Amino acid sequence: MAIASARIPRIDRRTLIGVGLAAVAALLVLLLTRPSPTVSVLVAADDIPAGRPLDQADLTTRSVGSSEGLVEGSSIGELSAWTVVAPLRAGEPLLPSLLQPPQVTEAGNLIAVAIEESHAVLGRLGPGDRIDIYVTWPSRGGEPPLTELLAAGVYVADVQADTGSSISGSMVNLVLAVDDELAPRMARASRSGALDLVRVAS
């Protein structure tokens, strides 16, 4: 008895192409209509005057596509003791440049110091570091130069490298938080002595 062979149905090539194009179009629609990811940033819920700590400020959050240049998060967290240095209107975002750490607020003053990187931990300093400052006074009356601790645990508020500004090497420009007593001593030491900085381990 002869057994008839089963015939496999033939799929039209144009049908396959059409199905493929439809799948690609559906994928593109899905990608184009899918909402972009957002992050939460802090904004002023009400007017905030300059000098107010963040833990006393009325803040809320806003969802944005990018948090670049803004303060990301849903709460102030470790920034609770930081202070707003310029007034904010309701709805304006919180900017890192408008915030002052409590160490600067407590010290009350800022002083700028330019020092060769070889005397400043090779420039390996950043905002938030603590440093011990030593000063070496020049010899007088035949006495050898005197080195002494000028200040301990000084808070570094800002650091900027100034490459190629010195014949002997690069300079490091620092902004330090100092109190009323240390400010004149730092000014005198930077002019009359030679400074060396030691980064204090946290």
Query: What average pLDDT score do residues 12-27 get?
Result: 71
Query: What average pLDDT score do residues 61-85 get?
Result: 88
pLDDT band at 68 (very low <50, low <70, confident <90, very high): confident
Query: What average pLDDT score do residues 186-195 get?
Result: 93
Give the Cα separation of 181 and 81 in Å (integer): 24
Tokens of residue 103, six digits: 């160490």
| pTM for this model (two decimals) | 0.67
Give the Cα separation of 145 and 196 in Å (integer): 14
Q: Which CATH code is given to the segment(s) 39-100?
A: 3.90.1210.10
pLDDT reading at 93 higher than 80? yes
DSSP collapsed to 3 states, 148-193: EEEEEEEEEEEEEEECCCCCCCCEEEEEEEECCCHHHHHHHHHHHC
Q: Provide the residue ranges of all domains of the chain, joining segments of one domain with +.
A: 39-100, 103-199
User: How high is the mean pLDDT of the chain?
Assistant: 85
Of 74-78, 121-125, 174-178, give the lowest mean pLDDT range: 74-78
Query: What average pLDDT score do residues 71-97 get?
Result: 89
Identify the pLDDT of residue 119: 94
Residue with tokens 């709805």: 91
125-149 confidence digits (pLDDT tens) = 999 999 999 999 998 877 888 999 9
Helix ranges (DSSP H) in the chain: 13-33, 102-107, 182-192
Query: What average pLDDT score do residues 110-123 get?
Result: 92
Percent of the chain with pLDDT over 90: 51
Identify the pLDDT of residue 31: 61
